[in-house]
Structure 1
Amino acid sequence: MEYVYFLANASLTLRVVEYLHGMPQLPVRLMTVIHQIDGWVIKIKTYSPLTPQQDGDFRAFMNELGIPYEPAIRLQMALWSLETGQSPIEVMRRYQVAVVSHGTPDRSDIEAFRQQFTRGLGYCPETLA
């Protein structure tokens, strides 16, 4: 199963990572995090289908933080390219997207991106809060 959501800021994205780390019964295969000017797109893919209860609980959690998202074709192609093994740098160049993290849900990738981006701008935009 896969879930694609749009989140408003980095704090919400980090809450998803923490949730996934706290729920070892969820068979998460990979999580992709992409930063856009107006927010964050995350894609979570599982090894196997969730039970109806797990699916409902996970969707309820995600719907509290963000909204289900249908990416535009360029972003769909970027997500697909990452899943087929292309390097994040290659995908960023080809599709002009900011791939923050791909693979195991990782808080440190998101934190590092937020710090570098904020340092470069000299202030913290709302999406990085």
Structure 2
Amino acid sequence: MDYLYFLANASLTLRVVEYLHSMPHLPFQFITVIHQIEGWVVKVKMNHPLTPQQDGDFRAFMSELGIPYEPDIRVQMALWSLETGQSVVDVMRRYQVAVVSHGSPDRSNIEAFRQQFTMGLGYCPETLA
């Protein structure tokens, strides 16, 4: 079972990571975080289907932070490639997407990306707030 959402900024993306860490009973397999100019794409893949209650609760949480996302073909292929085990670097080169994190939810990857991107620009865009 997959959940794919578009979030407006890094703070919301970090809230998803924190939520997954605080809910050890959720059987997530991996989380993928992709940064785009206009926001963040977050995919959470579960090991097995959630109960209807868990599914509803998780969808409600995710819908508070973002909107369900229908990716274009480039992002679809990047997500599929990551899921089939291709390296993050190869996927980023091939599909020209910024894969910030893939695997276990990792706050430090998102924070490091935000810091490096902001340092390079000299200011903090709204999507990195």
TM-score, length basis structure 1: 0.99
1:41-99 CA-partner distances (Å, limit 9, x unpaired):
00000001000000000000000000000100110000000011111110000000000
SS at match of 1:35: strand
Alignment of 1:1-129 (within 5 A): 1-129=1-129
SS at match of 1:85: coil
How large is the RMSD of aligned CA atoms in angstroms?
A: 0.3
* Identity within the alignment, %: 82
Q: Distance in 2 between matches of 1:30 and 1:70?
A: 19
Q: One-letter code of the match for 2:54?
A: Q
Q: Distance in 1 between matches of 2:119 and 2:40?
A: 19
Q: What count of residue pairs does the alignment treat as equivalent?
A: 129
TM-score, length basis structure 2: 0.99
SS at match of 1:42: strand
Unaligned runs of 5+ residues in structure 1 are none
